[in-house]
């Protein structure tokens, strides 16, 4: 038996069991624990109930517990229903809004248990209520955050953002995914994401590799082709990230896809523009180099041909020497043809423009083409009766057509069909050929030959590029045709593939009939009658050309004064020395031939002038004077001088 002092030391000493239980319940402050009678009136009230419901025991005991319910619950009869369920089922449990004394609401977890005596008679109800407002607020905040995130993801239309499960099946789908890939959510959720890959990528295991890389490296990113619902292909940037729970277990993958087709196309267009610019710059540089070389070569050929002519006059009738000179002249003339091709590529050749009916020109060349192509090539034509005319150099155009036909013949060593087609074509602005908008004549030369691969086709118009054997071609044929076409405002367009032959389309603007036709002075045959002796001022910075020109003129009986520059020529013209004619080069340092002509006309308005040049493209402000194309023979020089002397004097 314990001593009295020991009993008094216990907090509950002297208390009965019911009293101890009452103290325990009243001490609980986190739960409202109270008793209801069978009708739902409050019969007990603990400190927890007072803390979060706001009522003291004296205020609430005897009142019906329905005052804790919201008006919505009262309308639905929830208080009565909850007591009935508790009595019938032995327990009622729910979560919902409850009302404090001050009218504010809180979220509560409620349990109502029936209280029965030993005989089973219902004595009332025990109700335990817990305030879950903080948890509800946290859940609400989490829900709102998740809802905001969901709305954010759903609102994105430029990116496909969706989840896939660990096996790769689509688990969510946003508006961007539907816009980019074409599937509605109900069509794609549950299907494997490999449906978006091309057949080749699926066969290569690319979808599985993407997930494995994301797991191993924590991220997967790649650009590639993907497939829309309608089967069309687009370029995509794809990012896949693994989704893990707090334990590190993989719950699935987050996949973001962006349609980069427009960017890829823009990059492709930029690269093509860069390549085109590089090609244009390269061709322009080659053209300038080629034109400069051809111009200098023309000067040398002028000297050679003039010298050979003078020698031929002085050697007598020795057949062996005459044959050697003729061979040399033949070689010089071939050199002149080569320089004309080089100048044609550089768009610096002298054009003798005239209005030309292309159907008539082509029909007039058919016999020549037949003889040039040989018996193994069958020539056919599809030519309209008439077309609008073009403005071009007839001889250069005929040479261009002959070049294209011979190239086609060489591409068919075993023979075949060569077809000439002529049509008119309207081009809008802009167009794939990058030509000015307008109407064009298109002359097509179509062969059934071996065709060209992409690299050969890319280089086909470059000067000196040839696929023929050594000594079988200069590589200037196509570049000459292209240069001529560009000089006329058109172009040469080649289409070819290995084994499919080649189509060469020569585009030339149709003549609109507006403005005068300006042509270089044609080379004339030697004058029938001997012209009178003239006082001539010859100007050229190239000593060889100048001395050769002087020799040819003096051989014709003229009195010639030399000037090695424009400044020297002006100084001579300022003197009292009389001159009937001035022959000047154009491309001279310090003062060009055009500038010299302008100054000379101020000093001597009645002076007749001939511009001897290998350039076709002179400055827009160049004086309008007769031109003599280099290289020239003595006969051509003599004929040009005679013709100029017949013209009226151009007074400034």
Q: Residue 35 belongs to what H/E stretch?
A: strand 31-36
User: Would you say 351 and 520 are in contact if contact means Cβ atoms under 8 Å apart?
Assistant: yes
127 forms beta bridges with 34, 112
- The mean-pLDDT minimum among 108-117, 232-241, 462-471 falls in 462-471
Backbone angles phi, psi at 234, to 5 degrees: -140, 160
| 3-state SS, residue 552 | helix
Name residue 420's beta-bridge partners: 381, 445
Q: Please name the fold of domain 156-259.
A: Beta-Lactamase (3.30.450)
Q: Residue 450: pLDDT above 90?
A: no
pTM (predicted TM-score): 0.39
Strands (E), 87-183: 92-99, 105-116, 122-131, 159-164
CA angle in degrees (0–180, nearest 5) for 63-69-72: 135
Q: Do 527 and 637 meet the contact criterion of CB atoms below 8 Å apart?
A: no
Reduced to 3 states (helix: H, G, I; strand: E, B; else coil), residue 230 is coil
- Calculate the alpha carbon distances from 488 to 356, 402, 634 in Å: 13, 18, 30
Q: Which two tokens stand for residue 588?
A: 């001279």
- Euclidean distance between CA atoms 39 and 122, whole angstroms: 11
Residue 607: alpha-carbon gap to chain centroid: 57
The pLDDT assigned to 230 comes to: 93
SS3 231: coil
Q: Which of 192-201, 354-363, 386-395, 622-631 has the highest mean predicted lDDT (pLDDT)?
A: 192-201
Helix axes 634-646, 261-314, angle to 10 degrees: 100
Tokens of 569: 């020529």
569-572: long-range contacts (C-beta < 8 A, 24 or more apart)? 569/537, 569/539, 569/596, 569/600, 570/596, 570/599, 570/600, 570/603, 572/537
How many other CB atoms are there within 10 angstroms of residue 585's CB atom?
25
Q: DSSP assignment, residue 79?
A: H
Nearest CA among 55, 451, 425, 462 for reference residue 278:
462
- Residue with tokens 């940037």, as numbered in its chain: 237
In 3D, which of 129, 108, 130, 126 has the Cα closest to residue 38? 126
- The span from the CA of 185 to the CA of 200, in Å, is 26
The residue-averaged pLDDT of 235-242 equals 91
Q: Where in the sequence of the chain do the CATH 1.10.287 domains occur?
A: 275-345
The residue written with tokens 């042509």 in the block is 519
Q: Backbone phi, then psi, for 77, in 5-degree steps?
A: 75, 30
Q: Where are the alpha helices (DSSP H) in 388-475?
A: 394-410, 454-459
pLDDT score at 8: 40
Q: Rounded CA gap, 631 and 342, in Å?
A: 14
Confidence of residue 7 (pLDDT cuts 50, 70, 90): very low
CA 274, 275, 279 angle in degrees (round to 5)? 115
Confidence label for 420 from pLDDT (cuts 50, 70 and 90): very high
> Residue 650: pLDDT band by 50, 70, 90 thresholds?
low
Which residues of the chain does CATH 3.40.50.2300 include? 535-646
480 in Cβ contact with 461 (< 8 Å): no
| Alpha-carbon gap, residue 522 to 636, rounded angstroms | 10
User: How many other C-beta atoms can be found within 10 angstroms of the C-beta atom of residue 590?
Assistant: 11
Q: Where in the chain is the domain with CATH 3.30.450.20?
A: 19-133, 156-259
pLDDT at 484: 75
Q: Under a CB-based contact definition with an 8 Å cutoff, are residues 341 and 298 in contact? A: no
Mean per-residue pLDDT, 287-305: 65
Instruction: Tell me which CATH code domain 353-509 carries.
Output: 3.30.565.10
Average pLDDT, rounded, for the chain = 80
Average pLDDT over residues 361-390: 87
Give the burial string for 631-647 (b: 16+ CB within 10 Å, else e).
Answer: bbbbbbbbbbbbbbeee
d(CA 217, CA 636): 82
**Taking phi first (over 0 means left), then psi (-120 to 50 degrees means alpha), and beta for anything else, what does residue 13 get?**
beta
List pLDDT tens digits, range 463-493: 555 655 434 444 455 777 777 788 788 888 9
Q: What is the DSSP letter of 515?
A: S
How many other CB atoms are found less than 10 A from the CB of residue 407?
21
pLDDT band at residue 147 using 50, 70 and 90 as cut-offs: low
**Is the Cβ–Cβ distance between 166 and 254 less than 8 Å?**
no
Q: Quickly list DSSP for 32-79.
A: EEEEE-TTSBB----HHHHHHH---HHHHTTSBGGGGB-HHHHHHTHH
Q: Does residue 172 have a pLDDT over 70?
A: yes
Token readout for 439 is 């109407």
Give me the pLDDT at residue 197, please: 94
Q: What are the residues whose beta carbons fall under 8 Å from the beta carbon of 460, sequence distance 6 or more?
A: 452, 478, 494
Domain with CATH 3.30.565.10 in the chain: 353-509
Q: Is the pLDDT of residue 523 over 50?
A: no
Residue in this structure with the two tokens 């250069």, named with its chain if needed: 396
Tokens of residue 535, six digits: 């006082």
Of 99-113, 137-151, 237-251, 424-438, the poorest mean pLDDT is in 137-151
> Which among 69, 70, 82 is positioned nearest to 111, based on CA atoms?
82
Greater model confidence, 185 or 28: 185
Domain 535-646, architecture per CATH:
3-Layer(aba) Sandwich (3.40)
Per DSSP, what are the bridge partners of residue 560? 536
Rounded Cα gap, residues 38 and 80, in angstroms: 11
Token pair, residue 467, equals 């696929």
Domain 275-345 has CATH 3.40.1710: no
Angstrom distances, CA of residue 252 to CA of 161, 166, 215, 329 = 14, 4, 10, 87
- The reported pLDDT for the residue numbered 30 is 79
- Per CATH, the number for 19-133 is 3.30.450.20
Q: Report yes or no: 133 and 109 within 8 Å, Cβ to Cβ.
A: no
The pLDDT of residue 517 is: 41
**pLDDT at position 616:** 53
């Amino acid at each position: 038996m314990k001593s009295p002092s020991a009993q008094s030391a216990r907090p509950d000493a002297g208390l009965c069991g019911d009293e101890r239980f009452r103290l325990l319940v009243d001490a609980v402050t986190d739960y409202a624990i109270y008793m209801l009678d069978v009708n739902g009136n409050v019969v007990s009230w603990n400190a927890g109930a007072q803390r979060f419901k706001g009522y003291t025991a004296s205020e609430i005991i005897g009142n019906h517990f329905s005052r804790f319910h919201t008006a919505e619950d009262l309308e639905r009869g929830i208080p009565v229903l909850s007591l009935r369920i508790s009595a019938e089922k032995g327990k009622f449990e729910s979560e919902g809004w409850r009302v404090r004394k001050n009218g504010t609401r809180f979220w509560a977890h409620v349990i109502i248990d029936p209280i029965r005596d030993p005989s089973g008679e219902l004595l009332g109800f025990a109700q335990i209520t817990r305030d879950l407002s903080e948890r509800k607020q946290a859940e609400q905040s989490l829900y709102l955050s998740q809802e905001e995130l969901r709305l954010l993801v759903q609102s994105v239309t430029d990116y496909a953002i969706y989840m896939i499960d660990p096996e790769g099946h689509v688990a969510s789908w946003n508006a961007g995914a539907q816009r980019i890939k074409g599937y509605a959510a109900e069509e794609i959720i549950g299907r494997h994401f490999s449906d978006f890959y091309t057949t080749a990528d699926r066969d290569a295991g690319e979808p599985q590799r993407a997930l494995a890389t994301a797991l191993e490296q924590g991220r997967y990113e790649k650009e590639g082709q993907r497939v829309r619902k309608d089967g069309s292909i687009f370029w995509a940037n794809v990012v896949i990230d693994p989704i893990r729970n707090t334990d590190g277990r993989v719950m699935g993958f987050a996949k973001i896809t962006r349609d980069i087709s427009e960017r890829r196309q823009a990059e492709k267009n930029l690269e093509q523009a860069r390549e085109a610019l590089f090609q244009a710059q390269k061709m322009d540089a080659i053209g300038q180099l080629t034109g400069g070389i051809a111009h200098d070569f023309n000067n040398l050929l002028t000297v050679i041909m003039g010298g050979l002519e003078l020698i031929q006059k002085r050697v007598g009738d020795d057949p062996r020497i005459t044959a050697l000179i003729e061979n040399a002249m033949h070689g010089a003339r071939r050199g002149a043809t080569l320089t004309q091709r080089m100048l044609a590529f550089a768009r610096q050749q002298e054009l003798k423009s005239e209005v030309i009916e292309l159907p008539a020109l082509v029909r007039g060349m058919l016999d020549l083409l037949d003889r040039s192509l040989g018996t193994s090539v069958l020539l056919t034509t599809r030519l309209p009766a008439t077309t609008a005319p073009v403005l071009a150099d007839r001889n250069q155009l005929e040479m261009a057509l002959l070049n294209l036909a011979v190239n086609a013949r060489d591409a068919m060593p075993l023979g075949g069909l060569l077809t000439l087609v002529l049509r008119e074509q309207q081009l809008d602005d802009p167009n794939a050929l990058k030509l000015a908008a307008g109407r064009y004549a298109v002359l097509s030369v179509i062969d059934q030959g071996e065709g060209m691969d992409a690299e050969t086709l890319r280089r086909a118009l470059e000067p000196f590029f040839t696929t023929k054997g050594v000594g079988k071609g200069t590589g200037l044929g196509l570049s000459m045709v292209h240069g001529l076409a560009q000089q006329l405002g058109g172009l040469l367009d080649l289409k070819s593939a290995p084994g499919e032959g080649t189509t060469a389309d020569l585009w030339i603007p149709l003549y609109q009939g507006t403005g005068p036709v300006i042509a270089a002075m044609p080379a004339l045959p030697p004058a029938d009658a001997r012209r009178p002796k003239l006082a001539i001022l010859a100007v050229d910075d190239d000593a060889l050309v100048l001395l050769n020109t002087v020799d040819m003129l003096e051989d014709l009986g003229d009195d010639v004064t030399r000037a090695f520059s424009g400044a020297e020529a002006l100084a001579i013209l300022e003197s009292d020395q009389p001159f009937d004619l001035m022959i000047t080069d154009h491309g001279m340092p310090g003062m060009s031939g055009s500038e010299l002509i302008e100054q000379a006309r101020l000093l001597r308005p009645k002076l007749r002038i001939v511009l001897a040049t290998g350039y076709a493209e002179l400055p827009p402000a160049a004086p309008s004077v007769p031109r003599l194309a280099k290289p020239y023979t003595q006969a051509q020089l003599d004929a040009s001088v005679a013709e100029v002397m017949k013209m009226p004097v151009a007074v400034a």
